[in-house]
């Protein structure tokens, strides 16, 4: 299984970025997906997760209304559209893949993720 994130970069406060995550080597549509982030010295935390069909999603309060998670099952790709970026959004962002029926649990239990990507750095300059 390979998980590869891309799309990170340096943006000013209020800017936008779109992260992508391509997954190969498994049945993409059969897995729950989520975005996580980790700042230096802190634990990796879930920020958004999405159901297998893509029709349902959960977000942590800090990104709700600013970030949108989506998936393209035909192309094995997960996205995170990030708008109105703030300095506190600066972190390494990771894509997580889990084979679970309880897709919503991915948000709060990163320890249950089956596969991780290498991460993509997002830096928001103030």
State the Cα–Cα distance between residues 92 and 85, nearest whole angstrom. Answer: 14
| Structure confidence by residue, pLDDT tens digits, 37-52 | 999 999 999 999 999 9
What values do phi and psi take at 70, rounded to 5? -150, 165
- Residue 101 confidence (pLDDT): 84
State the Cα–Cα distance between residues 50 and 7, nearest whole angstrom. Answer: 19
Estimate to the nearest angstrom the gap between the alpha carbon of 94 and the chain centroid.
Answer: 6
| Structure confidence by residue, pLDDT tens digits, 59-95 | 999 999 999 999 999 999 999 999 999 999 999 999 9
State the Cα–Cα distance between residues 23 and 103, nearest whole angstrom. Answer: 17
Q: Are residues 79 and 69 in contact, defined by beta-carbon separation less than 8 angstroms?
A: yes
Name the one residue in this structure whose structure tokens are 């190969």: 24
What average pLDDT does the segment 105-121 reach?
Answer: 93
- Residue 36 confidence (pLDDT): 98
- Residue 74 confidence (pLDDT): 96
- Residue 126 confidence (pLDDT): 87
Confidence of residue 105 (pLDDT cuts 50, 70, 90): confident
């Amino acid at each position: 299984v390979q998980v590869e994130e891309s799309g990170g970069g340096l943006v000013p406060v209020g800017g936008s970025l779109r992260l992508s995550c391509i997954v190969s080597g498994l049945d993409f549509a059969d897995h729950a997906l989520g975005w996580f982030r980790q700042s230096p010295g802190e634990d990796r935390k879930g920020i958004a997760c999405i159901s297998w069909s893509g029709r349902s999603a959960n977000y942590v309060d800090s990104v709700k209304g600013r970030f949108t998670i989506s998936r393209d099952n035909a192309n094995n790709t997960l996205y995170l559209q990030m708008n109105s970026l703030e300095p506190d959004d600066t972190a390494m962002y990771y894509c997580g893949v889990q084979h679970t029926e309880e897709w919503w649990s991915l948000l709060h239990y990163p320890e249950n993720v089956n596969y991780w990507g290498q991460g993509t750095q997002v830096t928001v300059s103030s």
